[in-house]
Amino acid sequence: MGELKLSKPYLLQAADLTTEDVKLIFDKSDYFLEHYKRGEKFDDLKGVTVAMVFFEPSTRTKLSFDIAAKRLSADTISFQSATSSLTKGESLIDTLHTIEAMGVQMYVVRHGKSGVPQFLQANTSGVILNAGDGKHAHPTQALLDSYTLYRHFGAVKGLKVCIIGDIIHSRVARSDIALLKTLGAEVTLCAPGTLLPRNRNIWDCPIIESLDDAVEWADVMLVLRLQRERMESGILPSITEFSKYYGVKYEHFTRKPELVLMHPGPVNFGVELDYRLSTYPNCLIQTQVTHGVFIRMALLSLLGRDL
Amino acid sequence: MGELKLSKPYLLQAADLTTEDVKLIFDKSDYFLEHYKRGEKFDDLKGVTVAMVFFEPSTRTKLSFDIAAKRLSADTISFQSATSSLTKGESLIDTLHTIEAMGVQMYVVRHGKSGVPQFLQANTSGVILNAGDGKHAHPTQALLDSYTLYRHFGAVKGLKVCIIGDIIHSRVARSDIALLKTLGAEVTLCAPGTLLPRNRNIWDCPIIESLDDAVEWADVMLVLRLQRERMESGILPSITEFSKYYGVKYEHFTRKPELVLMHPGPVNFGVELDYRLSTYPNCLIQTQVTHGVFIRMALLSLLGRDL
Amino acid sequence: MGELKLSKPYLLQAADLTTEDVKLIFDKSDYFLEHYKRGEKFDDLKGVTVAMVFFEPSTRTKLSFDIAAKRLSADTISFQSATSSLTKGESLIDTLHTIEAMGVQMYVVRHGKSGVPQFLQANTSGVILNAGDGKHAHPTQALLDSYTLYRHFGAVKGLKVCIIGDIIHSRVARSDIALLKTLGAEVTLCAPGTLLPRNRNIWDCPIIESLDDAVEWADVMLVLRLQRERMESGILPSITEFSKYYGVKYEHFTRKPELVLMHPGPVNFGVELDYRLSTYPNCLIQTQVTHGVFIRMALLSLLGRDL
């Protein structure tokens, strides 16, 4: 496995990944998943310093990357800048160059503005891993979602995945659509009109009008988090109404027990998802979180091996 | 020592500990104390991830657990939630399940509400260590206090310990009383009526009315921190008055030099304790802090060995 | 190299360093720089706990020390106190004694008040490394500055260094002047009168009136950061005026290409320095940052070896 490499020496968006890249990442994740279970330790990043550069608050993604890096014996440092110091583009690059000059080689970056990881990658000889930028991309989430499907079904190709809920504001949706299509899944969308892109054909995914139709069609329901902030902006009339028509209910799954349920978390139970579904056998939400750590170990190891 | 185990696979309150448990913990603490002095390194928790989950601010206890975990080669992550996200009981459990899904096996938990560690333990297959919950319990403080007495006197059984000051609001007092009684010490209380439980017999400890009587009776004065907030709530007429009648003075110790002084810290010098006592030979306050790290190493090692 | 020691078992100010100390530190930095490049790992501080005690916000210096300590396999803990708890002198010492009782042996300290590291060193058996105190001293910055000159020119002795800008408020200036003189450099100052000490002879450095004269005289231009706060205090009429007369321009360097440019960072580009200079070949600003980590590794290793 030593000579295999990702086609790009960084991870900015799911659209950059080839099927060969994904195979390599999934194989490496399988490796870590199996060997970690047996209590093995990993030295892949011994002597490598990984900076967690989060300009947006994050709990899950940051912890997941942090645990992944530590399991590979990396040193991790955390750099959490106030947005205020970012008014000038130069200062962001200057900060990057300063951290880089200290010998940091890998950067896990989250930023509220789309495109920041690309901008940083263009200005460093280090490795950027995009941990979410604005509404643009969240490629490690897409990878862990597809990996979870791969482990559950044995393959992603040909799966019918319906993405449900707050699609227009979601970097997760964008990245999932891109990767699922690369891997040969069929993707549809189900959401109220105000939570869909204005140009409904922009991502080339059919729209399914009702949850009932989605349940009938899909192998997988991938439910998104409804950002509470959306309410205040007047995009939705009320949470109750959203929940009535687009909240996924327990009955949807008793009707079709083989249907798989996924959600990137954290879940607004009672809004986009019935709480009783959290213990439903084919609810893979916890599995997604578990796989997230192995996917990130795989990426850090593959991208960090030549540093 | 390999086959010995604590009677419960977690630590929620001092009352759960048997004398055999305590012997095991003290022996393990002795082991770490001796071997650490000689510069040895410990791999007990290599590959184990310990989460520091503090919902209340803490400096001493958090640092102590953090240092203990690192000395055992654990990976530590810190999760400090704002209380705001805890309004719904589900979200706390959901957060726990998310961290757990990432492969975290041990949780050091502090929370302002009594009972939260129990609630979490009931909902996880991981190991909870209570680092202080509301007014309920602070079992590692009780263990380090008793361990300090054990190291100083050779045994806890038969010792006369007077607990002084803000007893009613103190989780330290509750835990110390429980553990000291388990270990066969005699415990009395000395405090103004408003800082004692309304039902004075609730803990089955005699009340000593004056500090002078306490000094005469006791082998050990265990002084508690007076929470400044108590003043504002009108429970005490004034700090000056409290300090006059229940503040421990230098003269109390010159009168009886073998008397041992303890305090869980941080001390309000000039309120519950005369500053000159900080350098008094039988003042064991710094020793308590030192022992705290070894007690926590022992607990983490004993509870984490099968993970 | 095993038996060589610094003349003092701590680092409080550049003025304490002898030329032998500096040679030892530079040799050790050379060692780490060369061996780190080859991918070697270092165990110098394995089992040693280093506390980062920052009472002032810091990004660069704190990250640099943190990376240095981790590269030496130290455990690091971070202790960031609010200034509020420091109103009483005792509480600062009490906090130090508490951390010390937990087994922490080295303290990297930054504080807004001059003299705090000295005060702490006088009250501990641990090792204090001053990471900047008030307007007093920033000795690791001085060491990395001189080390950068040493690596660039082969020696510091006889070099002509002009320090430019906000000298009166700068602990960097104080420490650089002291160390450069110890090492035999000639030091001059160039700044508007309000940014120079009132007694111009206090540091025994000639004043150069104009930047043009400074360029002609110097081998090295060491430009300081202009604290924006200075503007508000009325010390300078305007940033534009400061920048016009004391801002270093690209033309200054095209005129004399061998001239070396240094700055402790972070740079206010457009104020004290022309942005185009950041890519100027003899601009050593990034090199200073890189060397900072190796200097700190050397200091931690030399001061921590007997712990």
pLDDT of A87 > 50? The answer is no
Range list of H helices, chain A = 19-37, 60-71, 89-101, 116-121, 139-153, 171-182, 211-217, 228-232, 239-246, 250-254, 285-304
Q: Does A182 touch chain B (CB under 8 A)?
A: no
Q: CA B251 → CA B134, B211, B241, B272, C45, distances in Å? A: 34, 11, 18, 14, 44
CA C177 to chain centre: 11
Q: What is the mean pLDDT of residues C7-34?
A: 97
Nearest-neighbour CA in chain A from C166: distance (Å):
21
pLDDT of A112 > 50? The answer is yes
Q: Does B78 touch chain A (CB under 8 A)?
A: no
Q: What is the pLDDT of residue C8?
A: 96
Range list of H helices, chain B = 19-37, 60-71, 89-101, 116-121, 139-153, 171-182, 211-217, 228-232, 239-246, 250-254, 285-304
For chain A, how far is it from start to end, CA to CA, in angstroms? 17
pTM: 0.91
Residue C135: φ, ψ to 5°: -95, 10
Q: What is the pLDDT of residue B81?
A: 63
ipTM of the shown complex: 0.89
Contact C104 B292 (CB under 8 A): no
Contact C77 B64 (CB under 8 A): no
- CA C76/CA C92 separation, integer angstroms: 20
More confident residue, B222 or C236: B222
- What the block records as the tokens of C191 is 């700044």
Q: What does the mean pLDDT of chain A come to?
A: 91
More confident residue, A41 or A108: A108
Q: What is the pLDDT of residue B20?
A: 97
Nearest-neighbour CA in chain C from A193: distance (Å):
45
Q: What is the pLDDT of residue C86?
A: 45
More confident residue, A222 or A168: A222
- pLDDT digits over C254-289, tens only? 999 999 999 999 899 999 999 999 999 999 999 999
Q: What is the pLDDT of residue B239?
A: 86
Q: What is the pLDDT of residue C9?
A: 96
Contact B97 A71 (CB under 8 A): no
pLDDT of C91 > 90? The answer is no
State which H helix or E strand residue C163 sits in: strand C160-164
Q: Which of C90, C92, C94 to mutate to test the interface with B (most CBs of B within 10 A)?
A: C94
Q: What is the pLDDT of residue C228?
A: 72
- What the block records as the tokens of A211 is 């949850």
Model confidence at A123, in pLDDT bands (50, 70, 90)?
very high
- CA A265/CA A223 separation, integer angstroms: 9
- B104 interaction partners in chain A (CB closer than 8 Å): 67
Instruction: Give me the percent of chain B exceeding a pLDDT of 70.
Output: 94
pLDDT of B87 > 70? The answer is no
Q: What is the pLDDT of residue B182?
A: 97
User: B221 pairs with which residues across the strands?
Assistant: B162, B261
Model confidence at B43, in pLDDT bands (50, 70, 90)?
very high
pLDDT of C207 > 80? The answer is yes
pLDDT of A230 > 80? The answer is no
pLDDT of C87 > 50? The answer is no
Nearest-neighbour CA in chain A from B77: distance (Å):
7
Q: What is the mean pLDDT of residues A135-143?
A: 96
Q: What is the pLDDT of residue C94?
A: 86
- pLDDT digits over B116-162, tens only? 999 999 999 999 999 999 999 999 999 999 999 999 999 999 999 99
More confident residue, C261 or B83: C261
CB count within 10 Å of CB B245 equals: 10
Q: At what angle do helices C139-153 and C19-37 cross, to 10 degrees?
A: 70
Peptide linkage before B266 cis (omega within 30 of 0):
yes
Q: What is the pLDDT of residue A139?
A: 98
Q: Which of A69, A262, A273, A56 is nearest to A176 (CA)?
A: A262
Q: Which of B273, B142, B164 is nearest to B221 (CA)?
A: B164
Domains and CATH numbers, chain A: 14-137+290-304 (3.40.50.1370), 139-288 (3.40.50.1370)
pLDDT of B304 > 60? The answer is yes
Does residue B75 come out as left (phi exceeding 0), alpha (psi in the -120 to 50 range) or beta?
beta
Residue B108: φ, ψ to 5°: -95, 115
Model confidence at B107, in pLDDT bands (50, 70, 90)?
very high
Please classify residue B306 by burial: count the beta carbons closer than 10 Å to its beta carbon, then call 0-12 exposed, 13-18 middle and 19+ buried: exposed
